[in-house]
Structure 1
Amino acid sequence: MSTYSIKDLEQLSGIKAHTLRIWEQRYKLLMPKRTDTNIRYYEDQDLKLILNVALLNDNGYKISKIAKMSVEEMREEVYSLTKRTLTHEDQIHALTICMIEMDEERFDKILSTNILKIGFEQTMLHIIYPFLAKVGVLWQTGAINPAHEHFISNLVRQKLIVAIDGQMYRDRGRKFLLFLPEGELHEIGLLFAAYLIKAKGHKVIYLGQSTPYEDLLSVFKLHTPDFLLTVITTSPSSEHIQQYVSSLSEHFPQSNILLTGNQVIGKDLDTPPNVKILTAFKQIKVFLEEMETVG
């Protein structure tokens, strides 16, 4: 069982700690426990409760009314809300609740509903990606544990693989080689790039996580792709990223190399003529559309 400080609850729910304390005193919504040294802490059920309270409150429910609801009544009301037209932020909040509760069925239903309403691509760009960014911050601050992150990543990964399989290659499409550098395991971005590329009718050669450089060279020699694309989030490290970018340019001079990810975006890198840095996944779509226009 995890424990949370009131600051953790604030980060996860978006409700100020001061407000949470008022609700505790006035409505007895939360009943914090105390350590031997008299430090207040909260448990999983407290977090789940306050996430539901926050979503209901954000959608016009008075806190006095919410306080009278049972836990099950809150859950059902939240579930009912997620089936209606909510803002992207509300959907992200609902996904956060599913993550904390590790509720795979409800997580899947929320994603499926959004995909039906606004399409897979818009769901990824406006709901899943901002949600994953939030998950990353929460993990770094210790508000959630690695199990939560793995749970979510695997569910999103499954959705992406199904979506990719539904795309067809067209004869006039270009050839893209997608890979992650050795030691890089954050695959969601690369999978989404594969979806965007295949959705435009291009061929994708997908190598996936932690690709040894020697393997990259041998696959390139076999397929001679028009483009290489990689997402660099953690590896290579900051002190080695320039060397890696220069090496890619040198070994694949006839291909266009597309880079994105935290290790290259906003960094003062020397980019050779055949290397392009994409600052957001929306830019991948723009790049593909521009390529179609030129072609």
Structure 2
Amino acid sequence: MSTYSIKDLEQLSGIKAHTLRIWEQRYNLLNPKRTETNIRYYDDEDLKLILNVAFLNENGYKISRIVAMPRREIKAEVLRMTEESLAQDDQLHALTFCIIDMDEEGFERVFNACIVKLGFEQTMLDVIYPFMSKIGVLWQTGSITPAQEHFISNLVRQKLIVAIDALNQLNTGKKFLLFLPEGELHEISLLFSCFLIKASGHRVVYLGQSTPQEDLRMVYRVHQPDYMLTVLTSALSSETTQEYVSSLSAQFPDTQLLVSGYQVIAKDLVFPSNVRLMRHFADFKEILGEISSVAQEK
């Protein structure tokens, strides 16, 4: 069982620690445990309760009404509302429960319900990516464990692979070479890019995680892609990111390079003429639209 500080509860629920303490004192909402050194902490059941209370409170329930409800009634009402809702925050709430419990069945239920309502692409854009951003922050602050982050990431990765395999049409558009630099293992954005490219009728050569530059050059010579796409999330240092981008530009001067990821979005870099920055997936969809428009004109 995991343990949480009150700051962790604040991060996960969105309720300020000061407010949580008031609710604890006024309504006896929580009963924190104490370590041998008298440090207060909370367990999984406390976190689930606070998440449910926060959800109902955000949806118009007064705290005085919530605390008067039996725990099972609180849970049942939250489940009912999340199953009926299309609101992004409600789906993020449901997915947060899945990561706490490492609940694969719950994830499947939420994910499939979103696909029915929104379709695969919008589920990724409107629900999964905001959720992945949220858990990235929670992982960095220690509010969730690496195991919990890996659990959800691998479930999303599996969904993307299945969706890509389902795009079995014969594509005849432009050719894209997709890769991550050596040491880079965060593959979800690259996989979703692959899905968008194939769904737009273009071809993909997918190299995936941690691609050595020598292998990249060899594949480039064989396939001569029209575009190369990479996502720089964490493998490179701030000092080497500019060097890596400039090196790619120099090695592949005849190809349009598309780059994205935290290491390039959050940094003040100089991009050569054949390198294009994508800050959001909306930017990439715009690029795919431009390519399709040019193809139609020809």
TM-score (norm 2): 0.94
Residue pairs, 1:29-108, within 5 angstroms: 29-108=29-108
* Residue 266 (structure 1) shift: 4.0
Paired residues of 2:179 and 2:207 also in contact (CA < 8 A): yes
Q: Number of aligned pairs?
A: 295
* Residue 171 (structure 1) shift: 4.5
* Residue 293 (structure 1) shift: 1.1
Unaligned runs of 5+ in 1: none
Which residue of structure 1 aligns with residue 153 of structure 2?
153
Which residue of structure 2 aligns with residue 123 of structure 1?
123
Give 4+ residue runs of structure 1 displaced > 4 Å after superposition: none
- Once residues 281 and 123 of structure 1 are traced to their aligned partners in structure 2, the CA distance between those partners, rounded to angstroms, is 13
C-alpha root-mean-square deviation of aligned residues, in Å? Answer: 1.5
Matched letter for residue 256 of structure 1? Q
Matched letter for residue 204 of structure 1? V
Matched letter for residue 127 of structure 1? V
- Once residues 136 and 63 of structure 2 are traced to their aligned partners in structure 1, the CA distance between those partners, rounded to angstroms, is 30
- Once residues 91 and 107 of structure 1 are traced to their aligned partners in structure 2, the CA distance between those partners, rounded to angstroms, is 10
Paired residues of 2:171 and 2:198 also in contact (CA < 8 A): no
Matched letter for residue 269 of structure 2? L
Paired residues of 1:257 and 1:274 also in contact (CA < 8 A): yes
TM-score (norm 1): 0.95
Matched letter for residue 221 of structure 1? R
Matched letter for residue 49 of structure 2? L
- Once residues 171 and 178 of structure 1 are traced to their aligned partners in structure 2, the CA distance between those partners, rounded to angstroms, is 16
Matched letter for residue 136 of structure 2? G
- Once residues 197 and 30 of structure 1 are traced to their aligned partners in structure 2, the CA distance between those partners, rounded to angstroms, is 49
- When structure 1 is superposed on structure 2, of 88-97 and 164-173 the one drifting more is 164-173
- Once residues 81 and 58 of structure 2 are traced to their aligned partners in structure 1, the CA distance between those partners, rounded to angstroms, is 11
Percent same amino acid at aligned positions? 64
Matched letter for residue 93 of structure 1? H
Tell me, yes or no, if structure 1 residue 165 matches structure 2 residue 161: no
Matched letter for residue 193 of structure 1? S
- Once residues 71 and 155 of structure 2 are traced to their aligned partners in structure 1, the CA distance between those partners, rounded to angstroms, is 26
Which residue of structure 1 aligns with residue 16 of structure 2?
16
* Residue 168 (structure 1) shift: 3.8
Query: Cα deviation per residue 1:212-250 (whole Å; 9 max; x = unaligned)?
Result: 111111111111111110000012221111111111112
Query: Cα deviation per residue 1:30-83 (whole Å; 9 max; x = unaligned)?
Result: 110122333211112111111122112222233233324444333332221111
Paired residues of 1:200 and 1:288 also in contact (CA < 8 A): yes
- Once residues 23 and 268 of structure 1 are traced to their aligned partners in structure 2, the CA distance between those partners, rounded to angstroms, is 44
* Residue 18 (structure 1) shift: 1.8
Paired residues of 2:102 and 2:151 also in contact (CA < 8 A): yes
SS of the aligned residue for 1:239 comes to helix
- Once residues 236 and 279 of structure 1 are traced to their aligned partners in structure 2, the CA distance between those partners, rounded to angstroms, is 18
Unaligned runs of 5+ in 2: none
- Once residues 49 and 266 of structure 2 are traced to their aligned partners in structure 1, the CA distance between those partners, rounded to angstroms, is 39
- When structure 1 is superposed on structure 2, of 219-228 and 35-44 the one drifting more is 35-44
